[in-house]
Amino acid sequence: MRFFLPIFLSILLLALSGCQDESSQKDATQSKKESNPSTQEDKSKFILEGINGEKIVLHVKDKGFVFEGFEKKIVLLNFFTTWCPPCVGQMPHLASLQNRYKENLVIIGVILEENQDNQEIINFINNNNVEFTLTNSKENFRLSTHIGGIESIPYMILYDKDGDYFKHYSGAIPEEMLEVDINKLL
Domains of the chain in start order, with CATH, are 4-185 (3.40.30.10)
Q: What is the CA 156 to chain-centroid distance, rounded?
A: 5
Identify which has the larger pLDDT, 47 or 4: 47
Identify which has the larger pLDDT, 96 or 17: 96
Check residue 9 and give its pLDDT.
40
Rounded CA gap, 154 and 3, in Å? 30
pLDDT tens per residue, range 44-68: 999 999 998 899 999 999 999 999 9
Contacts of 34 (CB under 8 A, 6+ apart): none
pLDDT tens per residue, range 86-113: 999 999 999 999 999 999 999 999 999 9
Considering only CA atoms, which of 95, 47, 38 is closest in space to residue 68?
A: 47
Check residue 88 and give its pLDDT.
95
Check residue 28 and give its pLDDT.
41
Rounded CA gap, 31 and 114, in Å? 9
pLDDT tens per residue, range 119-156: 999 999 999 989 999 999 999 999 999 999 898 999 99
Interstrand relation of 74-80 and 105-111 (parallel, antiparallel or unpaired) = parallel
Computed over every residue of the chain, the mean pLDDT equals 84
Which of 19-28, 80-89, 124-133 is least confident?
Answer: 19-28
Check residue 10 and give its pLDDT.
42
Check residue 129 and give its pLDDT.
85
Check residue 19 and give its pLDDT.
67
Check residue 101 and give its pLDDT.
97
Cβ density class 73-95: b for 16+ within 10 Å, e for less: bbbbbbbbbbebebbbebbebbb
